[in-house]
């Protein structure tokens, strides 16, 4: 599977957002060109929950319009796991309705060492996508 390239500054934005709203799960959208992420769009977790998330549909709609207007593509939906490993939960698997959009999960299990993993979720099948953090 083609790796997803995630610039370090985007990873850090994601980690800062996740830390700022922990223990609630953070969520958002990663956009870019091909499999190279160039920017992140923070979204509101309308469930305000520590073990699942739901994006605000109106906010999601306007972000998708912004991504298109910028000539970018939606590469992944990301969310944080404030206290558990970066593995899709059963609910994540159930909610993943777009197999062409990757799932990136950022774990704050070890608060000083946040890490992220990417997955392709299709029905009941979960496959890890290599995620490369690049400088810049
Ligand atoms: Zn999750």
Q: Tell me, what's the pLDDT at 36?
A: 97
pLDDT digits (tens, 9 = 90+) for 62-121: 999 999 999 999 999 999 999 999 999 998 988 887 778 999 999 999 988 999 999 999
Of 125 and 67, the one with more pLDDT: 67
Q: How far is the CA of 33 from the centre of ligand 1 (A)?
A: 25
Tell how far the Cα of 83 is from the centroid of ligand 1, in angstroms: 11
Give 114 Cα–ligand 1 centroid separation in angstroms: 15
Compute, in angstroms, the gap from residue 124 CA to the centroid of ligand 1: 15
CATH of the domain at 80: 3.40.140.10
Q: List, for residues 31-65, the tens digit of each pLDDT value.
A: 999 999 999 999 999 999 999 999 999 999 999 99
- Residue 2 DSSP label: P
Cβ(103)–Cβ(77) under 8 Å? yes
d(C-alpha 76, C-alpha 73), whole Å: 9
- Which residue reads 């774990």 in tokens? 107
pLDDT on residue 125: 87
Q: Residue 132: is its pLDDT beyond 80?
A: yes
Which residue segment(s) compose the domain that 26 sits in?
Answer: 4-134
* Domains identified in the chain, total number: 1
Give the mean model confidence (pLDDT) for residues 15-22: 96
Confidence grade of residue 3 (pLDDT, cut at 50, 70, 90) = very high
């Amino acid at each position: 599977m083609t790796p997803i390239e995630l610039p370090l500054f985007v990873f850090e934005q994601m980690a800062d957002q996740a830390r700022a709203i922990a223990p609630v799960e953070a969520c958002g959208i990663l956009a870019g060109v091909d499999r190279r992420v160039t920017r992140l769009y923070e979204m509101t977790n309308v469930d305000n929950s520590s073990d699942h998330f739901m994006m605000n549909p109106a906010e999601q709609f306007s972000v998708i319009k912004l991504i298109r207007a910028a000539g970018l593509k939606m590469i992944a939906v990301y969310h944080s796991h404030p206290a558990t490993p970066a593995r899709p939960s059963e609910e994540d698997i159930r909610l993943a309705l777009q197999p062409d959009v990757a799932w990136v999960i950022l774990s704050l299990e070890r608060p000083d060492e946040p890490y992220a993993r990417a997955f392709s979720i299709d029905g009941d099948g979960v496959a890890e996508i290599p995620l490369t953090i690049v400088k810049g």
